[in-house]
Amino acid sequence: MALFSSPPPATQLGWRWPHFSASELACPCRKHCKGEYFHDPRFLDALEAMRREMGPLPIRSGHRCRVHNAAVGGVQNSYHTKAIAADIAVTDKNRARLLQAAVNAGFTGLGYGRSFLHVDLGPARAWTYPGALGFWVRALGFDPMRNPVKPHKGSA
């Protein structure tokens, strides 16, 4: 794992994740940093596994520098600042598939937003963002906070 002040060339990283780039996962602020990027192969392997199962994953937020994280209301020790988290855009049509793919890929931190699913490799836990739980309950047919999704056998 390494922290870069801006996304380095893929050749420097030994890039093996064909569906993602360092620049799309780097801090987007460009105000407090130059696109700070933290490289964690374990996280990228999980994202790639999720992508193989799900198809395209529109990343809304990957790594964040600490100042940008605070500016967008992120918690102080956010896994976004440790680059083992991403917020992935979601629609009502793909909520159930996206959640199952995340769990199958080994993501253990799950944050249920109205228009995104937060995934990370921190301790096993789940939370909802204001006004989001109803969207997930309707799409899944159950409350994922009370009845967590389990990985399918043979998954990551």
Across residues 16-45, what is the average pLDDT? 89
The pLDDT of residue 82 is: 83
The pLDDT of residue 52 is: 94
The pLDDT of residue 22 is: 87
Q: Is residue 65 domain-resident? A: yes
Q: Is residue 26 domain-resident? A: no
Domain count, the chain: 1
* 3-state class percentages of the chain: helix first, strand second, coil last, to nearest 5: 30, 15, 55
Q: Is residue 147 domain-resident? A: no
Q: Is residue 109 domain-resident? A: yes
| Confidence check: pLDDT of 156 > 60 | no
Residue 40: pLDDT band by 50, 70, 90 thresholds?
confident
| Residues 6+ positions from 99 with CB-CB distance below 8 Å | 110, 117, 136, 140, 144, 149
Give the domain range for residue 125: 40-140
Q: Is residue 52 domain-resident? A: yes
- Please state, in angstroms and rounded to a whole number, the distance separating the CA atoms of residues 120 and 126: 10
Look at 38-42, 43-47, 103-107, 150-154 and tell me which has the smallest mean pLDDT.
Answer: 150-154
The pLDDT of residue 47 is: 96
Q: Is residue 146 domain-resident? A: no
Q: Is residue 130 domain-resident? A: yes
Q: What is the value of pTM for the model shown?
A: 0.90
The pLDDT of residue 8 is: 81
CATH number at residue 73: 3.30.1380.10
Q: Is residue 1 domain-resident? A: no
pLDDT digits (tens, 9 = 90+) for 65-105: 999 999 999 888 899 988 789 999 998 889 999 999 999 99
- Please state, in angstroms and rounded to a whole number, the distance separating the CA atoms of residues 90 and 72: 19
